[in-house]
Amino acid sequence: MGLRETKKLRTRQEIADRAMGLFARRGFDHVTVAEVAEAAGVSEKTVFNYFPTKEDLFYDEVPAREAAIVDAVRNRKPGESIAAALERLQARGSERLASPGFATFARIIEESRALQAKELEIMSRYTDALAGAIREELRVHELDAKVAANVLVSVQWQHFRNARRHALAGRHGPATARRLRSELKRAYNLLEHGLAQLEDGKG
């Protein structure tokens, strides 16, 4: 990575960090992009050059997480299923989702309908990216890839919402991280073995 790219990444991160500080103190809906720009020492136009919308300022890690999802599919271990690769990826983030700082993130989302709406858009974006990766990797029908991606992303979204629920209830630390991994494993077990186990009383 060249000097120019490194500088751009630093600027992007500085803007996102300043924005998050303002959101944490005042709530997402009560902060303007102009105020973020001032806090970061850049112009409002510069902020929009890096983040198309104010919501993108909050969800600044989405591009990296989308890339990680695709990478997990394309570079999974030999013989490893796509579901197992995604579970492994998501389980690695359990400690972060169980950190005290995540509670602030969860609270900001809980207080903003705009962020909740953006979350739906993000999950749709993840679904499209994952469907493309599944189709390329497995050479399956486009519809099959989309159905699989929708189901897999729904597990990831539920995992994120479970983490928020624990955070808002004041639960964090190693015990909560273990619980999140357990809940994630339960979800993927249901996915891998089918819904029939619910009717059989084995869920």
pLDDT digit string, tens, across residues 74-132: 999 999 999 999 999 999 999 999 999 999 999 999 999 999 999 999 999 999 999 99
SS3 state of residue 119: helix
Distance (Å, rounded) from C-alpha 156 to C-alpha 161?
9
Q: What is the reported pLDDT for 192?
A: 83
Contact assessment for residue 100 and residue 172, using Cβ atoms and an 8 Å cutoff: yes
Domains of the chain, start order: 3-52 (1.10.10.60), 61-199 (1.10.357)
Distance (Å, rounded) from C-alpha 82 to C-alpha 163?
22
DSSP structural state of residue 51: -
What's the pTM? Answer: 0.91
The model's confidence at residue 42, banded by pLDDT at 50, 70 and 90, is: very high
Contact assessment for residue 76 and residue 146, using Cβ atoms and an 8 Å cutoff: no
